[in-house]
Amino acid sequence: MHKKFNLPEKISKFAQKFWRFTKHQKIFVLYLWALSFFLLVLPLIKISPVSATSHSVRLFSKGLFTSLLIILVSMTVLLSWNMSFKFKNFIIGYFGFKENDSLFNFGFLWIIATAFLVMGDAIRVVGNTTDTIKLSWSYYFIQLFLLLGLVLTLMSVLKHAKENSNKTKIVNVVDEDAMKDIQHKKSFKGLFDEEEEEEQPKQHHTIHEHHFE
């Protein structure tokens, strides 16, 4: 028997999960929801035919299907990665990715930004030959919003890399100290070995003297 979909219960679970996030995670999740809303709702292109009324084109237009597919898949992966522990564990376990939220978020935001900016470049090329089609103001707003997200995630990636670099230096220092201890032990062992080698001929010579007596 299928369990009925309970919207209030889902919202309650989502709210509980959201409040368990860190401050950085909360900000990025809210950023992703805002970006999704802007991409799906705001018009991107304005078309003004000479003999017809002007109209706007949104991301769900058939002519933007390829860009829509890339952006939707990337946005779904990003939201799932940042909101679903099951999805994150699946990706880490199945594909072998190490858990690095900053690098993962930056990579998929870069894919979304690339698809979005290429679409804008194509419209600009057409707009240079005719005045009937041009980018809307909301396109430039989303563009700035995307670039802001890229800059913030890149800063987070660099911060994470710096922290890991410091950890690596600590490990290297420990390894160097350990190697020094091993070298010292080998040096002492070598000294004692030399002393033993010097004592062995003396003992051998004394044994021979006692034998002849």
Domain coordinates in residue numbering, the chain: 7-162
Buried b vs exposed e over 152-165: b needs ≥16 C-beta within 10 Å? bbbebbeeeeeeee
Comparing CA positions, the residue from 74, 37, 88, 42 lying closest to residue 61 is: 42
Give me the pLDDT at residue 1, please: 47
Q: Along the 213 residues of the chain, how does pLDDT read in single tens digits?
A: 456 667 777 778 878 888 888 888 899 999 999 999 999 999 999 988 877 788 899 998 888 899 999 999 999 999 999 988 888 888 888 776 666 788 889 999 999 999 999 999 989 888 877 878 899 999 999 999 999 999 999 999 898 888 777 665 544 444 555 555 655 555 545 544 544 555 555 555 444 444 444
Give me the pLDDT at residue 171, please: 46
Amino acid identity, residue 131?
A: D
Give me the pLDDT at residue 118, please: 92
Give me the pLDDT at residue 185, please: 55
Give me the pLDDT at residue 170, please: 46
Whether the Cβ atoms of residue 29 and residue 18 lie closer than 8 Å to each other: yes
Specify the pTM: 0.70
